[in-house]
Chains A and B, each alone.
Chain A
Amino acid sequence: MHGTTVATNTVLTASGAKVGLVTTKGYKQVLQIARSFVPGGLGGWVIFNKSDPLAPLELTIDVDERIGADGEVIRPLDESGLRESLESLAQERIEALTVSLMNAYTNGAHEERVRQIAESVMPGIPISISSEVVPEMYEYERTETTVVNSYIRPVVSTYMENLEAELNRRMTGVQLHILRSDGGLASAEVAKATPVNLLMSGPAGGVSGAIWMARQAGYSDLLTFDMGGTSTDVALIQNGIAQTRRETRVADITVRSSSVDVRSVGAGGGSIAYVPELTKALRVGPQSAGAEPGPAAYGKGGTEPTVTDANVVLGYLPSSAKLGGDLLIDHAKAEEAVSTVGKAMGLSVREAAEGIVNIVNENMFGALRLVSVEQGFDPRDFALIGFGGAGPLHANALGKLMNSWPVIIPPGPGVLCAYGDATTRVRDESARTFVRRFADTDDQEVLGILRELSAAAGSTLDLEGVPKAEQTTLYQIDLRYAGQGMRLTVNMTPEEFETGGLKELGRRFDEMHEQLFTFSLETQRELYNLRALVQGRESAAQGETLPSGNGDPSTAIYANTKIFFEGRDHDASIMDRSALKSGDLIRGPAVVTEMDSTTLVLPEHTGAVDQFGNILIRPNNT
Chain B
Amino acid sequence: MPAQIIQTNNSPFADVSVDAVTLDIIENALRNARTEMDAVLFRTAMSPGIREQHDAFPMIANQEGKMVVGQFGSFFWGFQQGYEGTIEEGDVFLTNDPYTCNGAVSHLNDWLMMMPIYIDGRIVAWSAMFGHMTDIGGKVPGSLPTDAAQIFEEGIQVPPVKIFRKGELNKEILELILRNCRLPEWNRSDFNAIVAALRLAERRIFEMADRFGVDHLVFAMQEMLDRNKRAMNSILNTVIPEKKQHFTDYIDDDGMGMGPYKVVCTMWREGDLVIFDFEGTDPQSISSVNFLLNEEMFKMFLGTFFINLFDPQILFNDGFYDLVDVRIPRGSILKPIRPAALSSRTHMLGRIFDIMSGLLGQGSPDALCAAGFSDSPHFMYSGYDKNGEWYQLYQIGFGGIPGRPAGDGPDGHSLWPAFTNVPNEFLEAYFPLRIVKYETITDSGGPGLHRGGNGLSMGYQFLEPGEISIHDDRWLTHPWGVNGGLPGQRSDKLMVRAEGETEWMPSKCDRIKVNVGDTLYFNTWGGGGWGDPLQREASKVALDVRRGLVSNEGARRYGVVLISNRSVDESATSDLRRRMASERGDVGLFNFGGTVEELKARCKADTNLDPPVTPVFQKWMGRSSKGAAA
Contact = CB atoms under 8 A, between A and B. Distances in A.
Contacts of A518: 196, 199-200
B175 interface: no
Contacts of A35: 420-421, 423
B189 A483 contact: yes
Given A45-B372, A278-B231, A69 B25 contact: no
B227 A362 contact: no
Contact of A37 (B310, B413, B456): B413
Contacts of B435: 26
B500 interface: no
Nearest to A28: B439
Interface string B396-423: 0010010010111011111111111101
A499 interface: no
Nearest to A358: B21
Nearest to A285: B313
A518 B192 CA distance: 9
B186 to A, nearest CB: 6
A521 B189 contact: yes
Contacts of A362: 24-25, 28-29
Contacts, number: 228
A38 B416 CA distance: 8
A483 B51 CA distance: 9
Nearest to A354: B21
A485 B43 contact: yes
Nearest to A29: B439
A351 to B, nearest CB: 8
B439 A46 contact: no
Interface stretch (B101-109, B326-334, B540-548): B540-548
Contacts of B438: 26-27, 29-30, 33
Given A32-B412, A41-B71, A484-B43, A103 B425 contact: yes
Contacts of B193: 517
B434 A139 contact: no
A459 interface: no
B424 interface: yes
Given A519-B192, A523-B189, A33 B456 contact: yes
A166 interface: no
Contacts of B71: 41-42
A281 B314 contact: yes
A282 B22 CA distance: 10
B227 A38 contact: no
A283 B21 contact: no
Contacts of B324: none
Given A355-B21, A485-B42, A58 B547 contact: yes
Contacts of B309: 46-47
Contacts of B15: none
B549 interface: yes
A80 interface: no
A146 to B, nearest CB: 14
Contact of A41 (B51, B417, B549): B417
B305 A46 contact: yes
A45 B413 contact: yes
B420 A45 contact: no
B369 interface: yes
B429 A137 contact: yes
Contact of B436 (A26, A483, A513): A26
A251 interface: no
B434 A68 contact: yes
Nearest to B307: A43
A371 B445 CA distance: 42
Interface stretch (B32-40, B115-123, B464-472): B32-40
A622 to B, nearest CB: 18
Nearest to B463: A68
A282 B313 CA distance: 10
A140 interface: yes
Given A30-B438, A366-B32, A36 B304 contact: no
A483 B314 contact: no
Contact of B549 (A48, A57, A74, A141): A57
Given A278-B231, A359-B25, A57 B425 contact: no
Contact of B235 (A46, A47, A69, A278): A278
A374 B421 CA distance: 26
A481 interface: yes
B21 A282 contact: yes
Interface residues of B, number: 90
A354 B543 CA distance: 52
A45 B52 contact: no
Interface in A349-399: 354-355, 358-359, 362-363, 366, 369, 374
A276 B314 CA distance: 10
Interface string A333-359: 000000000000101000000110011
A523 to B, nearest CB: 6
A200 interface: no
Contact of B423 (A46, A56, A137): A137
A56 B401 CA distance: 20
A105 B429 CA distance: 12
A219 to B, nearest CB: 25
Contacts of A486: 42-44, 51
Nearest to B421: A36
Contacts of B411: 29, 32-33
Contact of B406 (A27, A47, A354, A484): A47
B231 A483 contact: no
B356 to A, nearest CB: 9
Contact of A49 (B372, B407, B425, B440): B407
A66 B28 CA distance: 49
B536 to A, nearest CB: 16
B48 interface: yes
A449 B311 CA distance: 53
Contacts of A523: 185, 189
Given A138-B423, A521-B192, A38 B439 contact: no
A280 B20 contact: yes
B44 A103 contact: no
Contacts of A517: 40, 43-44, 193, 196
B494 to A, nearest CB: 15
A46 B417 contact: no
A184 B420 CA distance: 33
Interface string B179-215: 0000001101100110110011000000000000000
B301 interface: yes
A418 B401 CA distance: 47
A139 B312 contact: no
B428 interface: yes
B549 A281 contact: no
A283 B313 contact: yes
A58 B546 contact: yes
B231 A279 contact: yes
A141 B547 CA distance: 21
Given A37-B420, A42-B301, 5 more contacts: A46-B308, A281-B24, A359-B21, A486-B43, A517-B40
Interface of A: 26-30, 32-33, 35-38, 40-50, 56-58, 66, 68-69, 74, 102-103, 105, 137-141, 276, 278-283, 345, 347, 354-355, 358-359, 362-363, 366, 369, 374, 435, 481, 483-486, 513, 516-519, 521, 523
Interface of B: 20-21, 23-25, 27-29, 32, 36, 39-40, 42-46, 48, 51-52, 71, 185-186, 188-189, 192-193, 195-196, 199-200, 227-228, 230-231, 234-235, 300-301, 304-305, 307-314, 316, 369, 372, 398, 401, 404, 406-408, 410-421, 423-426, 428-429, 434-440, 456, 459, 543, 546-549
19 contacts: A26-B435, A32-B411, A38-B417, A47-B404, A68-B434, A137-B426, A138-B423, A139-B425, A141-B423, A276-B310, A278-B310, A279-B230, A279-B311, A279-B314, A362-B28, A369-B32, A484-B43, A486-B42, A518-B200
